[in-house]
Structure 1
Amino acid sequence: MDHFLYNNGALYAEDVALTEIAEAVGTPFYVYSTATLTRHFRLFNEALAGMEHLVCFAVKSNSNLAVLKTLGDLGAGMDVVSGGEYRRAKAAGVPGERIVFSGVGKTAEEIALVLEGGIRQFNVESEPELLEISRIAAAMGVTAPIALRVNPDVDAKTHEKIATGKSDNKFGIPIAKARAVYAEAARLPGIDVIGVDVHIGSQLTDLAPFEAAFMKVRELTQLLREDGHNIRRLDLGGGLGIPYERSNSAPPLPVEYGDVIRRTVGDLGCEIEIEPGRLISGNAGLLVTSVIYLKEGEGRDFLIVDAAMNDLVRPSMYGAHHDIVPVIEADAAILPQPVDIVGPVCETGDTFAKSRPMPPLRAGDLVAFRSAGAYGAVMSSEYNSRPLVPEVLVNGDQFAVIRARPSFEEMLARDSIPEWL
């Protein structure tokens, strides 16, 4: 469920007409719904009710400070994968004790940054990383709380570019080696072994891979406790999918995900962490764009819009589907016709949809890409020297620009020409 609904024939974000925002900021733009972000966070929180837990929002899915503060003020923790994301979480007011640092390539500078600023735990992905954290923590005279991310070799049956739990992925320590690496961690200075971490992928629409992975975590936790480790926290990652296509059956609900956690590891007496991103922010955002031209081609028509692959790369990168709807509701009596929806970037890959049934549209009409709140703005670029698009947050009948569109002068000012030219 989201809070983007038609009202008197026009699409609204909560109580604000998208046409009003378009007049204020121009197109294309991203718009997020506070009510949707709040609802989705609370669904996860309620799904784990009765267990000691923390819902850590995956910052990589949407790192805007206003979004992070909205969730942080609700009590969310943050899962970060870079020093920059850590700085964003702290700038949004989230304390270090609610921030988890994941990622396979933590640098010495990043490790020192978070040890100084405060961290809930490092999710350690390799033995060299473990040694580096130990070295830096010992030199600083502090103790680093760590969980080892284990790779359970579970096929999440998701897109190959977002699968993270198979043996041929770059993430985590093979679960068969975990006991030896935990033993090494326990001997190292500056290290406090507190838990186990697992994450098997993104956009999962079946609970079976989660159950398989969590059962392996259960078995490992019991073995580690027999080895003398005080395992008191389980980080079970994120990955629950969202319905990008409204016509398809819905993915599992957070409450069903919570039931799997209870059934597999709920009796171990561990604090539970989860790291949802997409399911909290995905359906909380739209990308709104204007039609530039309708071009008639050989055997197909093209709807050319002013958003492009640099603004929303998912269709080009993953072959991803987004429902695309007119902002002004179409006459139900008019039969939609198939069009290819494309952007202006000079790439054939700048294609959002092929043969998508759409109502008749003209230059200047607005269309909205649904489910664009996750991995949309955060993955955007200035390819073709196109400015990053603004982001807008709606709260009831109010809206605010939470990232402005840079001017061309600001873009050019970031470059410099050497004195010899």
Structure 2
Amino acid sequence: MTTTSLPGAPHFHYQGDELFAERVRVGDLARRHGTPLFVYAKASMLAALAAYQRGFAGRDFRICYAMKANSSLALLQVFAQAGCGFDIVSGGELERVLAAGGKPQDIIFSGVGKTRAEMKRALEAGIGCFNVESEAELEVLNGVAVELGQVAPISIRVNPDVDPKTHPYISTGLKGNKFGIAHDRTLHAYRRAAALPGLRVEGIDCHIGSQITDEGPYLDAMERILDLVQAIEGAGIPLHHIDFGGGLGITYKGDAPPAADALWRKLFERIDARGFGQRRFMIEPGRSLVGNAAICVTEVLYLKPGEHKNFCVVDAAMNDLPRPAMYQAFHAIEPVAKRSGNSSPYDVVGPVCESGDWIGRDRELAAQPGDFLAVMSAGAYCMSMASNYNTRGRAAEVLVDGDRAFVIRERETPADLMRVEKLLPGA
């Protein structure tokens, strides 16, 4: 039987006319668990991680999964067991890491709006480092640490003003972005941090954006960060680690990002040439570890021909797959079982009561009601951004490991959604 892999997702493939996740038939999962259904391939996650590990072979390094991409507990568990640390951006994400078996000392706390309560909890848990994103945050974190009788380990996130050449909503390293401390204020901020009794300077951090498919921005940002390391240490403030963030893109529609191992070999050529190769390095990949490791399976409900557009109405919606509505993002859409016959162009849309509820525009499909479709590259910024709009329960999730499939999230029911709500007293 012919086996055909899908672009960017080798652990999802057709055997004959049927789509498989590793060695499990996707159609069987949809019939057993219902739709919409997220299906993850564990092998894909570990293969993506292995590319980074190859790129850092022989170095002192830690890979911290940026869990905002997807924070489902079982995925965190997979990465924790594979030796990853975690990059978090909220107190809730901290609790998820701990629940999944992550080690507190391997956690980096990023984000521009950390609250005092979040800082306190993170210090009490013993996290590895705070990535501080403003001069004001330095003062608040110092105060919280002093009140607890602790010293907070910190690095400062630098905004290097480098264009990542990506969607403006996911660019984070330009002057106009809210993230990090401006490049020309960095040395001043480090001097202040070194003088505060509740802080201990550990390193420097940089993150310029997401879905980056060109190596150029990484090289530019790296050079600017290494210049700062020299200036900061020249001022008598040692830096024990350099954190280059994440942001490497994945294949959505013919994208050709560099392979993680090839990218880091090239980066290390420059790092070594400048004499920094023996440092401790940290990175925070998210999308590139999980993005192509999942599909969202959805059932065709209706075909609705129109004068100007044909619509394929499916049971997944913008609350399950928010990226098209938010970013006009592209996700490939493939049949779970190939059907013979002529195809027609359709806009694939969901049942939510919004014109922005679309999954794909002008897709050639040979589909009928009752068929299953697979929305590809659905592992990142889908379930983690899912909502309950229109009182729609979030989808179930299944993780495939070889020929086994595990339910890692039950489908939400209306009772689940109303559990924390209260009616007013009286009649």
Question: Is 1:401 matched with 2:407?
Answer: yes
The one-letter amino acid paired with 1:377 is: M
Q: Is the 8 A contact 2:53 2:261 kept in 1?
A: no
Matches within 5 A, 1:17-416: 17-245=25-253, 248-266=254-272, 267-268=275-276, 269-331=278-340, 334-358=341-365, 360-416=366-422
* Partner Cα distance (2:17, 2:364) in 1: 19
For residues 304-344 of structure 1, give each alpha carbon's deviation from its aligned partner in whole angstroms, at most 9, with x where no partner exists.
0000001100000000000000000233xx44321111001
* Partner Cα distance (2:121, 2:39) in 1: 32
For residues 273-305 of structure 1, give each alpha carbon's deviation from its aligned partner in whole angstroms, at most 9, with x where no partner exists.
111110100000100000000001113211000
* Partner Cα distance (1:414, 1:107) in 2: 24
Q: Which moved more, 1:107-116 or 1:400-409?
A: 400-409
For residues 44-66 of structure 1, give each alpha carbon's deviation from its aligned partner in whole angstroms, at most 9, with x where no partner exists.
11111121111111100010110
The one-letter amino acid paired with 2:391 is: S
TM-score (norm 1): 0.97
Partner SS for 2:10: coil
For residues 174-232 of structure 1, give each alpha carbon's deviation from its aligned partner in whole angstroms, at most 9, with x where no partner exists.
01011111000000012111111000000001010111011000000011111011111
The one-letter amino acid paired with 2:288 is: L
* Partner Cα distance (1:380, 1:306) in 2: 14
Q: Is the 8 A contact 1:30 1:287 kept in 2?
A: yes
- How much has 1:261 moved relative to structure 2? 2.7
Identity percentage of aligned residues: 43
- How much has 1:258 moved relative to structure 2? 0.5
* Partner Cα distance (1:9, 1:395) in 2: 22
- How much has 1:249 moved relative to structure 2? 4.8
* Partner Cα distance (1:260, 1:138) in 2: 42
* Partner Cα distance (1:404, 1:264) in 2: 47
Structure 2: where are the runs of 5+ without partners?
A: 1-8
- How much has 1:414 moved relative to structure 2? 2.8
Moved over 3 A (4+): none
TM-score (norm 2): 0.95
* Partner Cα distance (1:410, 1:80) in 2: 26
* Partner Cα distance (1:336, 1:322) in 2: 19
Sort the Cα spacing of 1:270 and 1:404 in 2 relative to 1 into closer, same or farther, 3 A: same
For residues 147-183 of structure 1, give each alpha carbon's deviation from its aligned partner in whole angstroms, at most 9, with x where no partner exists.
0001000111100000000001000000101111100
Partner SS for 1:109: helix
- How much has 1:15 moved relative to structure 2? 1.1
* Partner Cα distance (2:113, 2:23) in 1: 43
Q: Is the 8 A contact 1:292 1:364 kept in 2?
A: yes
- How much has 1:243 moved relative to structure 2? 0.8
Q: Which moved more, 1:260-269 or 1:343-352?
A: 260-269
Structure 1: where are the runs of 5+ without partners?
A: none
Q: Is the 8 A contact 2:319 2:387 kept in 1?
A: yes
